[in-house]
Chain A
Amino acid sequence: MTNALQPSEFEVQDIMINMGPQHPATHGVFRMVLQVDGEIVKDLIPHIGYMHRGAEKLSETMDFRQGIGFMDRTEYLAQFNAELGYVMAVEKLMDIEVPERAQWIRMILCELNRLSSHFMFTGAFGTDAGVFGTSFTYAFRWREEILDLFEEITGDRLMYAYFRPGGLAWEVTDNFEARVRQVLELSKQGIKDIDGLVTNNEIFKARTQGVGVLTKEQAIDWGTTGPVLRASGVQMDIRRDEPYLFYDQVEFDIPIGQNGDVYDRWCLRMEEMRQSVRIVEQCLTKLQPGPIQPERMPRMLRTPPGEVYIRTEAPRGEFGIYMVSKGGNRPHRLKVRSSCFANLQSLRDMSIGQYVADAVLALGSMDIVLCEVDR
């Protein structure tokens, strides 16, 4: 047996696995190159940019009304939240007072949008974890009710283009309150369904607990926001810390995770959905009839020169709009501070040393929207 190959004579190589851009678990077109030793991830190189459409640059050529539609397309799961950031930036530049009713309706729609976005997360993440389509169909079935409501109000299922600088494009439907209450009841049922299907399942717990851990320090270092940051134990929610709209007039709880793993992120989002229902219920009691646009609105929106940064708490974290105006009817420069882009940076820290299947879960638990990452 002297001719047998000794371990020192051959080279042991890690395999590079190219996951994406076309891969069922990458939530769009995201590519990660995994260097694996068997099943263990040794290194992870994320590649983004496949969905870059230059939305920021394009917005510089759009006047303030046209730009709203592009914000929808930047963040296609939380469109109202994205629109809100944009119109709030314009309002702040122009110093417009928004009527109370418009603010409340905005808040209701944003929270419902958070609900629908989190439904989407539960569905997609369940599929990542391997629940064959069931969580996905559950989530879509209940999200559909919310989208139907949005369609009745705005006329479109996804690209609403409904918020306007100063208020709303048009009045909501007459049966708005009754419909919202109905949708809330259905959503509660949906939350119960998904909760029952996944949250307490031992297999799901075994798969997610202790996986993709991000410590408090790492989470802050990478600039993560939203549920990813809160799951790591940092108490930060822009709705509480820098209230916009009327978030300072409603009561809600902010869930804070203590382990920073994938399971905490899941539980946090489930809890946020319940809190969103609670917020909308409070908003409905405070909704009064009134105007939805300021009395005196210029026909052509022109801002004085200046710059402004607006941060809002979108479902995936801090959605910021930095707008520079040199006067005129369009922004000189628009920068979207994308929550997913910052969150995605922490993927490498979450995945190294874990199994390939865990890397998929870590990616899924961040609830990325590639459109928002690449813009």
Chain B
Amino acid sequence: MKGILKSMATTLSTFARKPVTREYPETHKELPERDRAFPVLLWDKEAHEPFCTGCHACERACPVECMTVLMKDNPAHKSVGGESGRRKIIDKFWIDYGRCMRCNICVEVCNFDAITMNNTWEGHEKSVYDRADLVQDLPMLLSEHRSGELKPWVNE
């Protein structure tokens, strides 16, 4: 009987405690700085263009091949009368979030610090009704950082 009573005392003691549930859509847990949602591209706010030069490094390193990268000559390069120092720049970029396994490898291999893992709640809340909607194109990937919502975590 002692053990039975002890069980009941334990449950009663938790009955007196405060519930720990967070009511999710209303209250979000504060995400740590390093939180890894899905990869997004960074926007060079000084040059007004993406950091990404379309070098395919992330595409090659991706274990699940969720990325497609196309490169073009930068129309704003100095040689053609622009102000940018980037000779080549990203033309088209797709990431299929349905395939991505959030391993952080693309961030590690990037030579230009042009890609980062989204650490905001918007990065997590990606539910859609159609899998095809999970494929993100370049403007979508850039919008988070461009609008200033995203403060990327930089690993020294």
Task: Give Cα distance in the complex from A152 to B103, angstroms.
Answer: 16
Q: Are A202 and B4 in contact (CB under 8 A)?
A: yes
Task: Give Cα distance in the complex from A200 to B5, angstroms.
Answer: 10
In the complex, the chain A residue whose C-beta lies closest to that of B31 is: A151
A155-B36, A200-B2 in contact; A66/B61 too (CB < 8 A)?
A: yes
- What is the distance, in angstroms, from A74's C-beta to the closest C-beta of chain B? 13
Q: Are A156 and B14 in contact (CB under 8 A)?
A: no
Question: Quick check: is B139 within 8 A (CB to CB) of the other chain?
Answer: no
A200-B3, A202-B3 in contact; A193/B14 too (CB < 8 A)?
A: yes
In the complex, the chain B residue whose C-beta lies closest to that of A199 is: B3
A141-B20, A155-B34, A170-B155 in contact; A201/B3 too (CB < 8 A)?
A: yes
Q: Are B155 and A151 in contact (CB under 8 A)?
A: no
Q: Are B9 and A196 in contact (CB under 8 A)?
A: yes
A151-B32, A155-B104 in contact; A66/B7 too (CB < 8 A)?
A: no
Task: Give Cα distance in the complex from A98 to B32, angstroms.
Answer: 28
Question: Quick check: is B70 within 8 A (CB to CB) of the other chain?
Answer: no
Q: Are B32 and A66 in contact (CB under 8 A)?
A: no
Question: Quick check: is A198 within 8 A (CB to CB) of the other chain?
Answer: yes
The prevalent SS among residues of A at the interface is helix
Q: Are B4 and A201 in contact (CB under 8 A)?
A: yes
Selected contact of A152 from candidates B34, B63, B155, B156, CB within 8 Å: B34
Question: Quick check: is A70 within 8 A (CB to CB) of the other chain?
Answer: yes
Question: Quick check: is A62 within 8 A (CB to CB) of the other chain?
Answer: yes
A66-B63, A159-B102, A161-B104 in contact; A153/B7 too (CB < 8 A)?
A: no
Selected contact of B6 from candidates A155, A156, A196, CB within 8 Å: A196
Task: Give Cα distance in the complex from A249 to B147, angstroms.
Answer: 51
Task: Give Cα distance in the complex from A152 to B9, angstroms.
Answer: 34
0/1 string, B1-28, CB within 8 A of A gives 1: 1111011011100100000100000000
In the complex, the chain A residue whose C-beta lies closest to that of B10 is: A196
Q: Are B34 and A154 in contact (CB under 8 A)?
A: yes
Q: Are B63 and A169 in contact (CB under 8 A)?
A: no
In the complex, the chain B residue whose C-beta lies closest to that of A204 is: B3
Task: Give Cα distance in the complex from A4 to B63, angstroms.
Answer: 71
B105-129 residues with Cβ-Cβ distance < 8 A to A are: 105, 108, 117, 119
In the complex, the chain B residue whose C-beta lies closest to that of A192 is: B10
A70-B63, A193-B10, A196-B10 in contact; A202/B36 too (CB < 8 A)?
A: no
In the complex, the chain B residue whose C-beta lies closest to that of A66 is: B63
Measured between beta carbons, the chain B residues less than 8 angstroms from A153 are: 34
Question: Quick check: is B101 within 8 A (CB to CB) of the other chain?
Answer: yes
Q: Are B155 and A197 in contact (CB under 8 A)?
A: no
Q: Are A69 and B7 in contact (CB under 8 A)?
A: no
Q: Are B101 and A69 in contact (CB under 8 A)?
A: yes
Task: Give Cα distance in the complex from A204 to B4, angstroms.
Answer: 9
Question: Quick check: is B35 within 8 A (CB to CB) of the other chain?
Answer: yes
In the complex, the chain B residue whose C-beta lies closest to that of A193 is: B10
A156-182 residues with Cβ-Cβ distance < 8 A to B are: 156, 159, 161, 169-171, 173
Task: Give Cα distance in the complex from A198 to B153, angstroms.
Answer: 43
Q: Are B1 and A134 in contact (CB under 8 A)?
A: no
A155-B117, A161-B103 in contact; A198/B34 too (CB < 8 A)?
A: no
Mind listing 10 A-B residue pairs with CB under 8 Å?
A: A65-B61, A155-B153, A156-B35, A161-B104, A196-B9, A197-B10, A197-B11, A199-B3, A200-B7, A201-B4
Q: Please give 20 more A-B residue pairs, beta carbons under 8 A apart, in addition to A69-B103, A141-B20, A200-B3.
A: A62-B63, A65-B108, A66-B103, A69-B101, A144-B20, A151-B35, A152-B34, A153-B34, A155-B34, A169-B104, A169-B108, A171-B156, A193-B10, A193-B14, A197-B10, A199-B3, A201-B6, A201-B7, A202-B1, A202-B2
